[in-house]
Amino acid sequence: MISTAIIAEDSKSLQDLLLHHLEALGVREILCCDNGEDALLAIKGNPSHWECVITDLHMPVMDGLELLEALGNDNYRGGVIIASSLEDRVVQMAVDIALSHKVHLVGSLAKPIDAIELTRLLQKSREIKGFVPLEVKYLKQRELLDSISNNRILPYYQPKVDNRNGQLIGMEVLCRLDCPEEHQVISPDRFIPVAEKFNLIDLLTRQLLEQSLKDYKRLCQSLGCEPKLAFNISPLQLHNPKFPTAMGDICDRAGIDRGKVIFEVTERQIMSERKQLITLDRLRIHGFGLSLDDFGTGFTNIRQLREFPFTEVKVDRCLIKNISKDRVSQVILRALSSIAQEFNMALVAEGIEELSDYQYIAENFHLIAQGFLISRPKSIDEIIRWHHAWLKTHPIEATEESD
């Protein structure tokens, strides 16, 4: 659960009720304000301290939508919940503000307040990355260097499928380390920050790319199709002007068309430096696809999408989880879907875990789906087996056909 929250609500009885709920849920520090301006002042004093703001819509001095906008202008990084039943028109307005002012609108909470829904929204607010306190056992620099020099980098593949017909469109290549001393392969949260810190990230990307391109022909033969492969890169790597050429050379040596390779860049770190933008452009010029990753957790203003050369946008799982019931996420996905169409970008919904969410998305959107419901990331052999099984019997297509 989150540990700090601000309530902006002019009705004393509703303030008390929210306070009571938050205390019962274990939120340790709660500040109550009678209007948006007081809440804004408190946040300005210590923005990174407050994980979530719950605001009424109608308040004196500064109302909820104004507060939402002001928080966006101040680059507030926590979640915002509107405690009010919203008509569709207001949801649309709130989402427009959230998308154009880069603020994390988590959802709306109808009155009377439902404790279960409040818990869900607070949880969603917590999942906005960066606020999740991580207790991670990082690899030491030496251990990482050993793994890289001993070729222990393993590509794990997670499928991306067309949500209307189940066809395999591409795969995200996620990095794992094989470590003989540990039971399981090591996940990237334990070593990517280390690679970034000690300047090993380019080496790591290069090995991962080489490794999976080496497997690519066998993969295509076994799958009977030529999926695009998507690799994650850190925004740091965009500072290196040689990066596009280095990646291009690896593809050429492997005899793989660059159009089959996509680089995913997370939007969590704002890419503002000219040098980074130039590298993005050059990756496109070199023929690679470019994907804006984790949309919804970071601060890319929706209009900025126009200025970047992305060919794809990936909606983060915090917006996808529970979308079948969450009106705010539904409106955000709709807005993104039309922007993606307008800019001719592919749209990916990632982190799909629930069949109800998959079905809601399939009924309302045509996009590329990725998530544990379809398949977890797997080694090359496992993914080939998964694809055989998927072609024969995947229940999702059966559900769609029975509609």
- Give the residues lining the site for Ca ion (CB under 5 A): 232, 264, 293-294
Nearer to Ca ion, 79 or 298 (CB): 298
| Residue 154: closest CA among 387, 386, 378, 374 | 378
- The answer to whether residue 84 forms part of the interface with ligand C2E (CB under 6 A) is no
Cβ at position 176, least distance to ligand C2E in Å: 7
- CB of 108 or CB of 158, closer to ligand C2E: 158
Q: Is residue 296 near ligand C2E by the rule CB under 6 A?
A: no
The site partner of 371 among ligand C2E, Ca ion, none (C-beta below 5 to 8 Å per kind) is: ligand C2E
**Contact residues for 331 (Cβ-Cβ < 8 A; gap 6+):** 91, 92, 95
Q: What is the DSSP letter of 237?
A: G
Q: Quote the tokens at residue 284.
A: 């496109």
* Residue in 349, 303, 313 with CA at minimum distance from that of residue 330: 349
Residue entry with tokens 């994980």:
51
Residue 193 contacts ligand C2E per CB under 6 A? no
Stretch that binds ligand C2E, among 68-76, 132-140, 184-192, 327-335 (CB under 6 A): 184-192
7, 80, 192, 194: residue in contact with ligand C2E (rule CB under 6 A): 192
353 interacts with ligand C2E by CB under 6 A: yes
188 touches, from Ca ion, ligand C2E, none (C-beta below 5 to 8 Å by class): ligand C2E
- When the beta carbons of 69 and 357 are compared against ligand C2E, the nearer one is 357
What is the distance between the alpha carbons of residues 93 and 211, in angstroms, rounded to a whole number? Answer: 47
Cβ 192 to ligand C2E, closest distance in Å?
5
**Crossing angle (nearest 10°) for helices 243-254 and 274-285:** 20
Q: Smallest distance from the beta carbon of 328 to Ca ion, in angstroms?
A: 20
Establish if 209 lies at the interface with ligand C2E (CB under 6 A): no
Nearest to Ca ion of 64, 170 (CB atom):
170
Cβ–Cβ < 8 Å for 297, 268: yes
DSSP 378: B
Whether 331 and 92 have beta carbons less than 8 Å apart is answered as: yes
Q: Choose, by CB under 6 A, the member of 293, 312, 326, 357 that binds ligand C2E.
A: 293
Collapsed DSSP state (helix, strand, coil) of residue 32:
strand
CA distance 174 to 154: 8
Q: Is 315 in the site for ligand C2E (CB under 6 A)?
A: no
Does residue 235 belong to the site contacting ligand C2E (CB under 6 A)? no
Contacts of ligand C2E in 244-273 (CB under 6 A): 264, 266
108 binds, among Ca ion, ligand C2E, none (CB under 5 to 8 A by kind): none
C-beta of 55 vs 297, nearer to ligand C2E: 297
DSSP string, 62-114: S-HHHHHHHHHHTT--SEEEE-S---HHHHHHHHHHHHHTT-EEEEE-PSSPP
In the complex, the smallest distance separating the C-beta of residue 195 from ligand C2E, rounded to whole angstroms, is: 7
Q: Identify the residue among 163, 212, 232, 291 touching ligand C2E (CB under 6 A).
A: 232
Does 371 bind ligand C2E (CB under 6 A)? Our answer is yes
Structure-block tokens of residue 1 = 């659960």
**Residue 57 touches which of ligand C2E, Ca ion, none (CB < 5 to 8 A by kind)?**
none
Give SS3 for 4: strand
Closer to Ca ion by Cβ: residue 79 or 371: 371
Half-sphere exposure (Cβ direction) of 397: Cα atoms closer than 13 Å: 12
Return the amino acid letter for 209.
Answer: L
How is the chain split among helix, strand and coil, in percent rounded to 5? 45, 20, 35
Q: Which residues bind ligand C2E (CB under 6 A)?
A: 158, 174-175, 187-189, 192, 205, 208, 232-234, 264, 266, 293-294, 317, 351-353, 371-372, 377
